[in-house]
Structure 1
Amino acid sequence: MVGETFFGDFDLASAAIWLFWIFFAGLVYYLQTENMREGYPLQDDDGTTSSGPGIFPTPKDKTFHLRDGRGQVTVPSGQNPDRTNLKMAQTSPSAGSPYVPTGDPMVDGIGAAAWAPRRNVPELDAHGHVKIRPMSAMDDFHVSAGRDPRGLPVVGGDGEVVGRTTDMWVDVPEQLVRYLTVDLNPEGTGKTRLIPMNMAKIGTDRVTVKSLYAHNWDGVPTIRSADQVTLLEEEKIMAYYGGGTLYATPERSGTVI
């Protein structure tokens, strides 16, 4: 019949908007469930499965093949196991009450010094090479601007000299200094530790690290290799220095008046 269209009285605009909303709802569901591959299923403070997990179900396992021959990982069930038997106690039986350390929080990795169980392998660049390396092991790197901290004494938050800077660790592809090496015994016994660059202040005559006091330096986590640092080692080192801002001395975690 003249004047009739193929769809007749079918409202194409209404169909288009409904198709959009259906697609959008599906997209939200997909993104939310994919986001739940880490940290789920939720647990209550006592370690039991949460009674209110939310409206979205935990996604089915998905296996990812890691690059550079580093195996594979399955999530969510194959996640790194949570740290258990932590030395802390809840301040009240009420749900959501804060926890307080029961030992040395900097050693136990509690509170401000907490760390996550990352993979104990070094970070690699796009070409499969170790990203962070000591400058002493690379002939093509040198300090072109700013102060060279090598040879300067390292001073803690209490003003005590704890050692001397001997090397810098460089993020090769980013060309940034990530860590400094401090020899805690300048006589050359090899008792060294890494200092995160963002926790150090380089002056004209010293390197200052305010987060740690003299008695804290022996406890800085060590690395197992002389020319590379793993993701887990980085996590523990950063957590130790960060925790020192609150736990280096009892006075730091006390009441501020």
Structure 2
Amino acid sequence: MVGNTLLGNIDLASVAIWAFWIFFAGLVYYLQTENMREGYPLVDEEGKPAPNQGPFPVPADKTYKLRDGRGEMVFPSGQRGDRGDLALAQSSRAAGSPYIPTGDPMIDGVGPAAWAPRRDIPELDAHGHVKIKPMAMLPEFKVSAGTDPRGKVVVGGDGEVIGRVIDMWIDVPESLVRYLTVDLNPEGTGKTRLIPMNMARIKGNRVVVRSLYAHNWEGVPVTKKADEITMLEEEKITAYYAGGTLYASTARLEPQI
């Protein structure tokens, strides 16, 4: 309306752009602080507060209610703590110096065999059911393509026959094989271990696991239940096999050509 002086000489375009930039800056600040709920505040190799914490402060605690009645988690102060008393020793006082295992790294879970302290409960699907189960408990599942590894011998990285595959563990909602069950004696002793499927190669009449040698198999972590595997157990089992690629024998620690 002509003569309306309510807005005076205010430039509405300038107001709009400044409002956008203020909103955008607030959004960046919010997203960055929310991203700092796990793993912060930063610490150095000795567990002391790191000097480079960054320009943004650690956010206030927020409580998350977990699904399926699995309790609550508070972040950041309630986050899972680091594993204490690791069997490692720093090779030098200089910053960034590598740490050297002081025991059996595959058993201690350090270096390539390191694992994260996940919750010691099984992973569930969208309906609250346990995701990973032995195929022997799933009559509706069958091998429809590829090679069925059951009944084949398992051979380690040193060429020794370790045992025989007797079952597979299936990720039910994904319809994928996650683990193989191996009896640690070809004749069948009942002493079993799980093999992560991505660490095994099915070749003709055998299953090859190159990361472990014959003397390593007894140390493979086991599950508390015969028909269930927890997220923590998955971490430890997979880490053990991964660690074997370096620690299965002293020869693997030497330079490779």
Say whether the fold is shared (TM-score over 0.5). Answer: yes
1:187 deviates by 3.3
- Asked if structure 1 preserves the Cα contact closer than 8 Å seen for 2:149 and 2:202, the reply is yes
Corresponding letter in the other structure for 1:152: K
1:96-115 correspondence runs (5 A)? 96-115=96-115
Q: What SS is found at the alignment partner of 2:227?
A: coil
Q: What SS is found at the alignment partner of 1:16?
A: helix
Q: What SS is found at the alignment partner of 1:164?
A: strand
The reply to whether residue 18 of structure 1 matches residue 15 of structure 2 is no
1:122 deviates by 0.2
User: TM-score normalized by structure 2?
Assistant: 0.96
- Asked if structure 1 preserves the Cα contact closer than 8 Å seen for 2:201 and 2:209, the reply is yes
Alignment partner, residue 45 of structure 1: 45
- Asked if structure 1 preserves the Cα contact closer than 8 Å seen for 2:122 and 2:231, the reply is yes
Question: Deviations for 1:221-255, whole angstroms, at most 9, x for unmatched residues?
Answer: 10011111000000001111111111111121222
CA distance in 2, matches of 1:14, 1:157: 70
User: TM-score normalized by structure 1?
Assistant: 0.96
Alignment partner, residue 150 of structure 1: 150
1:188 deviates by 3.0
Q: CA RMSD in A?
A: 1.5
CA distance in 1, matches of 2:211, 2:2: 84
1:15 deviates by 1.8
- Asked if structure 1 preserves the Cα contact closer than 8 Å seen for 2:153 and 2:186, the reply is no
After superposing the two structures, state which structure 1 stretch, 208-217 or 89-98, moved more.
89-98
Alignment partner, residue 128 of structure 2: 128
Q: What SS is found at the alignment partner of 1:23?
A: helix
**How many pairs align?**
257
Q: What SS is found at the alignment partner of 1:58?
A: coil
CA distance in 2, matches of 1:168, 1:50: 45
Corresponding letter in the other structure for 2:247: Y
Alignment partner, residue 197 of structure 2: 197
Corresponding letter in the other structure for 1:224: K
Alignment partner, residue 2 of structure 1: 2
After superposing the two structures, state which structure 1 stretch, 222-231 or 34-43, moved more.
34-43
1:62-141 correspondence runs (5 A)? 62-141=62-141
Q: What SS is found at the alignment partner of 2:239?
A: helix
1:60 deviates by 1.0
CA distance in 2, matches of 1:101, 1:28: 41
Corresponding letter in the other structure for 1:85: D
Corresponding letter in the other structure for 2:172: V
- Identity among equivalent pairs (%): 70
After superposing the two structures, state which structure 1 stretch, 2-11 or 133-142, moved more.
2-11
Q: What SS is found at the alignment partner of 1:169?
A: strand
CA distance in 2, matches of 1:223, 1:8: 75
After superposing the two structures, state which structure 1 stretch, 175-184 or 52-61, moved more.
52-61
1:52 deviates by 2.8
Question: Deviations for 1:3-33, whole angstroms, at most 9, x for unmatched residues?
Answer: 7675343222222222222112111111111
Alignment partner, residue 168 of structure 2: 168
CA distance in 2, matches of 1:3, 1:161: 96
CA distance in 2, matches of 1:28, 1:251: 50
CA distance in 2, matches of 1:222, 1:126: 26
What are the ranges of 5 or more consecutive residues in structure 1 without an aligned counterpart?
none
CA distance in 1, matches of 2:99, 2:181: 34
CA distance in 2, matches of 1:207, 1:6: 82
After superposing the two structures, state which structure 1 stretch, 80-89 or 130-139, moved more.
80-89
- Asked if structure 1 preserves the Cα contact closer than 8 Å seen for 2:123 and 2:131, the reply is yes
- Asked if structure 1 preserves the Cα contact closer than 8 Å seen for 2:162 and 2:186, the reply is no
CA distance in 2, matches of 1:110, 1:199: 19
CA distance in 2, matches of 1:254, 1:14: 66
Alignment partner, residue 181 of structure 1: 181
